[in-house]
A and B are shown apart, each in its own frame.
Chain A
Amino acid sequence: MRASDGWQLAQVNVARARFPVDSAQMADFMALLDPINALADGTEGFVWRLQTEAGDATALRPFDDDRIMINMSVWESFEALRSFVYLSSHLEVMRRRREWFERMAQAYLVLWWIPAGQLPTVADAKARLDMLRERGASPAAFTFHDRYPAPDPSIDPNQGRFQYGRVDSRDSTPSARGARTGR
């Protein structure tokens, strides 16, 4: 799946920290944040990541549970994201994830295509995560393992034909040209 004109790939992952972020047990993770974020920022294909004034997203608590943290970003392509997550120093953080974060019983990571230039909000992220949890993977909300290509480039994301947030989740193949008209 190469970069698709007009579309970029958003990702969000949530995780429940095993300890308070200022605890000694989380120290290594917190120390890795800045270098890993800087690495992302400088990676080819990186577009944007969610952050507060502090420079990362660790202060955000979008859920009632005070231990659940969020990470969200946007990339030019699936390959750019996957390459960063698994083929860079970021892999080391993944290797140690269970030192710092519990495994969530529900889906904790979701990917979706977003019109280029738009930025996802936390509300968007929650909606996509819910979509994945309720219906399984679909073109509107998917995973690394069950992934979908960007929508048909003939769909102009800025013309309003593509109803942002209301993609037919029954589609399992790329839509044919014009198939989305009238939606």
Chain B
Amino acid sequence: MTRLGLLQDPIRAALYRYVIAQDHDVGRNEAASAVEIQRGLAAFHLDKLAEAGLLEVTFRRLSGRTGPGAGRPAKLYRRADREAVASVPPRSYETAAALLAETVEQAGADLTLQGAAREMGERAGRQRHADVATEDALRGTIMEALNDLGYEPYLDGPVVRMRNCPFHALSERFPPLICGMNHALISGLLSGLDAQSCHARLDPAPRRCCVAILSKNNQD
């Protein structure tokens, strides 16, 4: 789930596809040029991919020089060998997801899906050490956790919203199914974080995620 979420960003996906297609380890400058973005942005995304295990990192002096004064080694990236999923193009997952969603829809198994999503969210939440000392700290923890799951959270006053749907194509095709899944996943996450003072609510609008996280005290 985390890995799939990571490839939603089109720049990140483009960097990933470039790196894995090369026959050599790729440095940040090369990757940045290939995708036509700034070096710093490339570094940010490449490190995210490395963190998630989709890419592996090595350090090597590109100049071939050695010894003191030879310069800092460059950070280089390449496809991670160990994970089979890294070699599967995102499009195959899209096909599988569409088929699985169609099947759940036809079987009327919304509630089963919601249960599974809630459990997944709870597991993700429990794995974090949640800082629930203050409402601000809690919101910060929630936003970090959402980020790890592939969402792009932001604050709208005291309400946590997310910029776009990580499952956009699927949610256009199966809105109640996917929005229900989404809501359950996020509810589960809050439960796993033991964030008792807030809850997830459906609050759909164009071009943003359908879920908002509100404090139970301020019912908008």
Contact = CB atoms under 8 A, between A and B. Distances in A.
Interface in B171-220: 173, 175-176, 179-180, 183, 202, 204-206, 210
A32 interface: no
Interface stretch (B31-39, B62-70, B80-88, B103-111): B103-111
Interface string A27-54: 0000000000000000000000000000
Interface string A133-146: 00000000000010
Interface in B6-58: none
Chain B CB within 10 A, most for which of A98, A99, A145: A98
A125 B219 CA distance: 40
B179 A91 contact: yes
B136 to A, nearest CB: 28
Given A86-B175, A97-B176, A92 B202 contact: yes
A161 interface: no
Contacts of B179: 86, 91, 94-95
A91 B107 contact: no
A130 to B, nearest CB: 20
A103 to B, nearest CB: 3
Interface in B92-140: 105-111
Chain A CB within 10 A, most for which of B105, B107, B110: B110
Given A94-B175, A95-B176, A87 B108 contact: no
B176 A99 contact: no
B93 to A, nearest CB: 21
A74 to B, nearest CB: 21
A92 B111 CA distance: 14
Contact of B180 (A88, A95, A102): A95
A88 B176 CA distance: 12
Contacts of A94: 175-176, 179-180
Interface string A98-131: 1100110000000000000000000000000000
Nearest to A93: B176
Contact of B110 (A91, A97, A145): A97
A86 B204 contact: yes
19 contacts: A86-B175, A86-B179, A88-B204, A89-B202, A91-B176, A91-B179, A91-B202, A92-B202, A94-B180, A95-B176, A95-B180, A95-B183, A95-B202, A96-B180, A98-B109, A98-B110, A103-B105, A103-B106, A145-B173
Interface of A: 85-89, 91-92, 94-99, 102-103, 145
Given A91-B202, A92-B202, A98-B109, 13 more contacts: A86-B179, A87-B206, A89-B202, A91-B179, A94-B175, A95-B179, A95-B183, A95-B202, A97-B110, A98-B111, A103-B105, A103-B107, A145-B173
